[in-house]
C-alpha cells in the first residue's frame, strides 16, 4: 500500500483506486492480514486488481501460513501421538526353547518385526525371572515371603548382544551359567517349576521419535527342554533373502541336550 501510494499526501490519491479496498490506516492493514491468515473474510477489505505488489504479498502470506500451520500440526501430533499399534507388529515365538550350544545350556526366544519399511532405532531387549522368594532375616529370625521376586537374566549386556538390529527375525539368547536363576534346574524341575520369564523389548519409532515397548512372558509349560528353532531365512536367486514366517514357531528336537541341569553338565565336563 505504501508502494502504491495509498498513504501519501498527494491530492490525486483520493481518486486513485486503492491497493486494498476498505483500508486507510495501519490498524486496518493488521486486521486485513489477520483475516487473510485465518480465512475469516469479513467482506469489507480486499486486494484490488490495481496493485500487483499486493497480490504477490497476499500469495506469499498464504503460502507461509500454510507451512506454519503444517509445522504446528506436525509438532502437536508428535507430542500427543502414542505408539500403541506399533508394538502389535512385533512377533514373539509362542514357546521358548533350551538347547545345548557352545558347551552351555542356552535359553532362546525368537522375535521378528512384521513392518519392513520402518526400522526401530536403538532397539534393546531385557529378560527377567519372576518367582516366589522367601527370605530369612538374621536379626528377627523371621521369614519374609516375596510373591513376585524379580531377577535380571543376562542376554549379553556386557558384550552388546542385548542391542538389536531388527531387520530380520532374531533369536535372543540367555546363557545358563552360575549367575542364572536356571542354573540348578533340570528338565524335571523345569516342568514342575512355578515361575515366569518376562521378556521386554524397547525401541524408538523412526517416524515420530517416540519409544515403544513390547512384552511377552513364558511359563514352564511354554518352555521346551532340548529343542531349537528351525531356520526361516532362505536365499532365493530371484528375491534374494526371504523369510518364511509359516515356520516362525516351529522347533526341532536337539539330541545333544541332556536332561540334567547346567551345574551338573559343568561338573561332568570338569571330571
What stretches of the chain show up as alpha helix (H) in DSSP?
A: 26-37, 52-80, 187-192, 262-270
HSE, side-chain direction, 13 A CA sphere, residue 267: 7
Could you tell me which of 217, 152, 146, 219 has the C-alpha nearest to residue 179? Answer: 152
Residues 218 and 90 in one domain: yes
- Where residue 260 sits, what CATH number does that domain have? 2.60.40.1400
Whether 35 is covered by a domain: the verdict is: yes
Contact assessment for residue 1 and residue 25, using Cβ atoms and an 8 Å cutoff: no
Q: What is the pLDDT of residues 197-215, one digit of tens each?
A: 999 999 988 877 788 899 9
What per-residue confidence (pLDDT) applies to 234? 84
Residues 57 and 106 in one domain: no
Whether 5 is covered by a domain: the verdict is: no
Residues 100 and 161 in one domain: yes
Report, in angstroms and rounded to the nearest whole number, the Rg of the chain calculated over CA atoms. 34
Q: What is the pLDDT of residues 45-85, one digit of tens each?
A: 777 767 777 778 878 888 888 898 888 888 777 666 666 67
Please identify, among 80, 110, 130, the residue that sits at the C-terminal boundary of a domain. 80
Residues 203 and 255 in one domain: yes
Could you tell me which of 247, 252, 254, 251 has the C-alpha nearest to residue 91? Answer: 247
Q: What is the pLDDT of residues 152-170, one digit of tens each?
A: 999 998 888 899 988 889 9
Q: Has residue 15 got a pLDDT over 90?
A: no
Please identify, among 25, 53, 80, the residue that sits at the C-terminal boundary of a domain. 80
Mean pLDDT of all residues belonging to the chain: 83
Whether 49 is covered by a domain: the verdict is: yes
Residues 100 and 210 in one domain: yes
What per-residue confidence (pLDDT) applies to 201? 95
Q: Has residue 19 got a pLDDT over 60?
A: yes
What stretches of 111-157 show up as alpha helix (H) in DSSP?
A: none
Whether 4 is covered by a domain: the verdict is: no
Q: Which residues pair with 57 in a beta bridge?
A: none
What per-residue confidence (pLDDT) applies to 158? 87
Q: Dmax over Cα atoms in the chain, in whole Å? A: 114
Residues 160 and 248 in one domain: yes
| CB-count exposure of residue 39 (10 Å: 0-12, 13-18, 19+) | exposed
Could you tell me which of 149, 146, 128, 152 has the C-alpha nearest to residue 216? Answer: 128
Find the domain containing 40 and state its range. Answer: 11-80
Whether 247 is covered by a domain: the verdict is: yes
Whether 2 is covered by a domain: the verdict is: no
What domain count does the chain have? 2
User: What does the pLDDT average to over 19-31?
Assistant: 74
Q: What is the pLDDT of residues 221-250, one digit of tens each?
A: 999 999 999 999 887 777 678 888 889 999
User: What does the pLDDT average to over 171-183?
Assistant: 93
Residues 45 and 138 in one domain: no
Whether 194 is covered by a domain: the verdict is: yes
Q: What is the pLDDT of residues 250-259, one digit of tens each?
A: 999 998 999 9
> Helix crossing, 52-80 with 26-37: angle to 10°?
50
Please identify, among 80, 108, 135, the residue that sits at the C-terminal boundary of a domain. 80
Contact assessment for residue 45 and residue 32, using Cβ atoms and an 8 Å cutoff: yes
Whether 265 is covered by a domain: the verdict is: yes
Residues 125 and 234 in one domain: yes
What per-residue confidence (pLDDT) applies to 5? 54
Residues 72 and 102 in one domain: no
What per-residue confidence (pLDDT) applies to 83? 64
Q: What is the pLDDT of residues 108-129, one digit of tens each?
A: 999 999 887 778 889 999 999 9
Does 4 or 235 have the greater pLDDT score? 235
Residues 50 and 167 in one domain: no
Residues 169 and 59 in one domain: no
Residues 132 and 257 in one domain: yes
- Where residue 60 sits, what CATH number does that domain have? 1.10.287.70
Amino acid at each position: 500500500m505504501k508502494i502504491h501510494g495509498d498513504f501519501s499526501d498527494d491530492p490525486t490519491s483520493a481518486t486513485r483506486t486503492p491497493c486494498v479496498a476498505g483500508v486507510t490506516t495501519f490498524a486496518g492493514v493488521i486486521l486485513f492480514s489477520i483475516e487473510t491468515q485465518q480465512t475469516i473474510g469479513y467482506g469489507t477489505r480486499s486486494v484490488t486488481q490495481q496493485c500487483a505488489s499486493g497480490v504477490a504479498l497476499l500469495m506469499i502470506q498464504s503460502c507461509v501460513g500454510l507451512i506454519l500451520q503444517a509445522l504446528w500440526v506436525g509438532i502437536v501430533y508428535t507430542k500427543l501421538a502414542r505408539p500403541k499399534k506399533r508394538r502389535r507388529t512385533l512377533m514373539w515365538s509362542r514357546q521358548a526353547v533350551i538347547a545345548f550350544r557352545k558347551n552351555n545350556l542356552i535359553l532362546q526366544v525368537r522375535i521378528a518385526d512384521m513392518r519392513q519399511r520402518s526400522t526401530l532405532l536403538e532397539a534393546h531387549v531385557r529378560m527377567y525371572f519372576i518367582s516366589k522368594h522367601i527370605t530369612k532375616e538374621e536379626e528377627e529370625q523371621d521369614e519374609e515371603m516375596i510373591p513376585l521376586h524379580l531377577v535380571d537374566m543376562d542376554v549379553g549386556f556386557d558384550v552388546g548382544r542385548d542391542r538389536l538390529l531388527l531387520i530380520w527375525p532374531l533369536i535372543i539368547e540367555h546363557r545358563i551359567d552360575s549367575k542364572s536363576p536356571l542354573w540348578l534346574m533340570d528338565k524335571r524341575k523345569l516342568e514342575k517349576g512355578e515361575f515366569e520369564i518376562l521378556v521386554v523389548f524397547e525401541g524408538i519409532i523412526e517416524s515420530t521419535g517416540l519409544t515403544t515397548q513390547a512384552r511377552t512372558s513364558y511359563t514352564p509349560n511354554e518352555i521346551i527342554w532340548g529343542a531349537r528353532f528351525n531356520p526361516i531365512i532362505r536365499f532365493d536367486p530371484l528375491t534374494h533373502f526371504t523369510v518364511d514366517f509359516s515356520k516362525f514357531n516351529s522347533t526341532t528336537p536337539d539330541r545333544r541336550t541332556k536332561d540334567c541341569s547346567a551345574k551338573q553338565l559343568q561338573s561332568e565336563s570338569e571330571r
